[in-house]
Structure 1
Amino acid sequence: MRDILVFLIVFGSIPYILRNPVVGALMWVWISVMSPHTQGWGFATTFPFAYIIAVCTLASLVFTRQPRNLPTAAPVLALLAFTVWMNVTFPFSLYPEYAFPQYTRVMKIMLMTFVVAMVIKSKEDVRRLVWVLVISLGFYGVKGGIFTLRSGGGQRVWGPGATFIGDNNALALALIMVIPLMYYLQQTSTNKWVRRGLTASILLSALAALGSYSRGGLLAIVAMCGFMWLKSRKKLMVGSVLAAVGPALLLFMPQEWASRMDTIDNYQADASAMGRINAWYMAWNLARDRIFGGGFEIYEPATFAAYAPVPNDVHAAHSIYFQVLGEHGFGGLALYLLVGITTWRTAAWIVKNAPKAPGMQWAVEMATMMQTSLMGFAVGGSFLSLTYFDVPYYLMCALVATRVLVQANLPPPAPTMTRPG
């Protein structure tokens, strides 16, 4: 039944996609982020839904009469430069046979990210994009929260298999990123039932993130909550809610959860943590030795034997920063950081200037919550190999489109008075 439902939704959307590429972009985001086909048990699990949507969207983009220019904003140009750099480093991959599948996957993500940036233009488009992200990740947050309640927190919450968020740690970070977006929609929705549903989704998603037993996720939650309180205009109310809800959620979790979180302070005794540090040293040494890094999929015994302090302790990068460093060198890391910095500065520009533009208060609230999401990703991503996770790139697209809208609505500068000769 689930397979048929996904099939009907995707193929039912094709006429709308061919008529309007925005629909295709939103369908792509839904398929790529939620991966709804993974919730089936039959033919849908291997059916190429993403490929069909991508082809239809690109065809619609060719024939549409709507504006389809790629924004020349700093984050988009930085991402374009990072994409070009990855194409430069790919021929120098240490393991071409392993690198090629990941290279094609990443290039598809980058291509469709640029398509999203090209077609998302209006306030309605931006809000729909936020809703798609909330529904896509919120599904797993609500599902995971209910699972955590039923199990009393005694079992870990996992994401959908064979996806970016299949790992428990990755799912936790994704849920942490989507909670601020839920809060934005909850604050700006007029329907009381929608607000109540989003409030419940926030609580269940937070519980699911804790139920993942992710230590990096816990650090990301702390950073996100602190930033949310700092940026809130209602600090007393937000602080009171966090002070009431936070301890209640923590007290709900069992002793084994608390014992795992305690290992954050004693990371030297934790084999997993030390393995990550060993992988970070490997990436650092590799980048110092090879200007273009090692290419995609470098986490092989031969690489660790050559560059790691502990040669036989092979781990994935477990850090977006060291992953880029090891795979694409210092140049790749600089460009990747530039994407994040310029995206952050775009959000800050919106927060500063949107109040001057009539009817753009929604942009302030949205940009603030997206900054909160990015803060969670920057902290949680320090411990996860999620460099190519597409949600931050879609947030970038939303912020770039919003900046253009704010700029278009800013009143013209007052004329300067000049004294006669």
Structure 2
Amino acid sequence: MADNEEMQGKEEEVQQEVVQELEPEVVAVRDAATLVGDGDGDADADGARELRQKRRELEGQVKSAKAELVRLQCQLRDFSSKHFRQMEHLRFLINNRLHAKAEDPADSERERATPATAAATTAATAATTTASAKQSLSSQKGEDTNEHADWKEAIKPIGYLKSCFKRKNGTPRQANLCPDSAAYLQVTAFSNSDHALEGLAHFSHVWLVFYFHLNDNISVKAKIRPPKLDGVRVGVMSTRSPHRPNPIGLSLVELAKVQGDTLFFNGIDLVDGTPILDVKPYIPFYDAPPSPPTIAPWVHDARLRELPVVFTDRAQADIAALVDAGQLQFFSSADTFKQAVLAILRADPRSSYRREKCREQTYAFTLDATDIIVKFEDDVAHVLQVKAFRPKKEKTAGHLSQEAAEVVVVAQEQQSEEAPSDAACGGDHDDDDEATEAG
């Protein structure tokens, strides 16, 4: 806001300088015109015409200067509005990053309290910033403050999703690609949130409106490369890429149950910690189109391509041991966990970058409380090992823990005879062109 006040001060200085510079000439012309008008008729007609011409020229310059001042005022308001929107976006990203770092998965009570605290902090920051912006904008002459009312003041998360997908790596690109995936949402938007959820249990599916909180890019591209098109670019609006002008997503998921103020979902495609903006019931005769819909051919072709998946004996033993030890939060049996892994790998979760640059390397992703090590060979996904995952406090989305890195080393040693140069392709490759749907 200090920048806005400085720009307004400069604008007033320019206006005063223009007036001071032109005022003597305007006064001189007016005096001369008065003398000509009050003369005895002997004044030279040519001189009078010259004075009138000069007066018209000066008046034209004054009009041009006023028009330039109006243009500068409009430009100043435009810059102020853009600056305000960018600062709001940065504040939202920072609050979500702080919220993600503050989480402690080992403490369930803290997990439930953190979303409410983060939501309150975000709302307070947005309210303070919006009030300052409105005060600055209302000081401009003739300004309608209602036109600049910030919509983010009225939009805030109703809760933060707790998902079996801890990172973007391995998260399905679309909902229901992995029917056994699970998540839950504690609604914190009301003091009596359980009342707001009454009647929702009668619906089998709901729409989740959410914010792509892991997107840290402010600018977006008009054309992107969807992962299944092998480098071909299409318009961003013809895809479901998270990198959009307004990073808002929509997922249709199964509602497993409603328990108090908490909703439980299946067939999820969102990362842990995703801010949920709204929940709406799915109604087929309203939401489904009356006639058979048409889709782009590349979407249909990509859906038909599935990879075979093979579990090694060691991987199956690892899964059984983890289930027996009760280390899985979202899966109650080894079969449901394996079905989830199968669904994820059949759809080939690798990005175009990984398929091109990491073709011979080991792939790792996190599901529930496990690190899963996979080797892709001849379009077949081999699950090599599944090991318990303990997140670090400073871990960021897309990067493996130290323990996972050790697992990769073990997997490389086991595969050294077949592929001596294997190395873990750990971490997400943040490519703005990649059209992934992970929240």
TM interval, short-chain normalised: under 0.3
Q: Looking at secondary structure, tell me which structure has more helix per residue.
A: 1
Which is higher, the Rg of structure 1 or of structure 2? Answer: 2
Q: Whose relative contact order is higher, 1 or 2, with alpha carbons under 8 Å and at least 6 apart?
A: 1
TM-score w.r.t. length of structure 1: 0.24
